[in-house]
Amino acid sequence: MREGIEKVDGEAISDAVAVQRTLAGERDAYRVLVERHSRSVFRMAYRMTGNSHDAEDVVQEAFLRAYQKLEKFAGEANFGTWVYRIAANYAIDRLRQRNVEKARRRMPSNPGEEGFEVDPLSTAQDPAPSPERLAGSTQLAAKMKDALEALTPAERTAVVMRHWEGCAIEEIAAVLKSNSNATKNTVFRAVGKLRRALEPFAGSNQAARAMGTES
Q: What are phi and psi of 31, to 5 degrees?
A: -60, -40
Work out which of 108, 127, 131, 203 binds another protein, going by CB under 8 A.
203
- Minimum CB distance to another protein smaller for 99 or for 205: 205
Residue 10 is a binding residue for another protein (CB under 8 A) = yes
Out of 12, 67, 77, 98, the only residue in the binding site for another protein (CB under 8 A) is 67
CB 183 within 8 A of CB 109: no
Question: Pick from 117, 129, 152, 178: which binds another protein (CB under 8 A)?
Answer: 117
Q: How many whole angstroms separate alpha carbon 45 and alpha carbon 55? A: 5
Q: Which of 101, 119, 132, 170 is the binder for another protein (CB under 8 A)? A: 119
Q: Is 37 in the site for another protein (CB under 8 A)?
A: yes
Shortest separation between residue 144's beta carbon and another protein, angstroms: 6
Task: Verify binding: residue 112, another protein, rule CB under 8 A.
Answer: no
Q: How many residues bind another protein (CB under 8 A)?
A: 72
- Between residue 177 and residue 196, which ones bind another protein under the rule CB under 8 A? 184-185, 187-188, 191-192, 194-195
Rounded-to-integer distance, Cα 180 and Cα 22, Å: 34
Question: What are the b/e assignments for 48-84, b being 16+ CB within 10 Å?
Answer: bbbbeebbebbbbbbbeebeeebeebeeeeebbebbb
Q: Are 155 and 190 in contact (CB under 8 A)?
A: yes
Which span (51-59, 75-83, 87-95, 171-179) binds another protein, by CB under 8 A? 51-59
State the distance between the two ends of the chain, measured CA to CA, in whole angstroms: 30
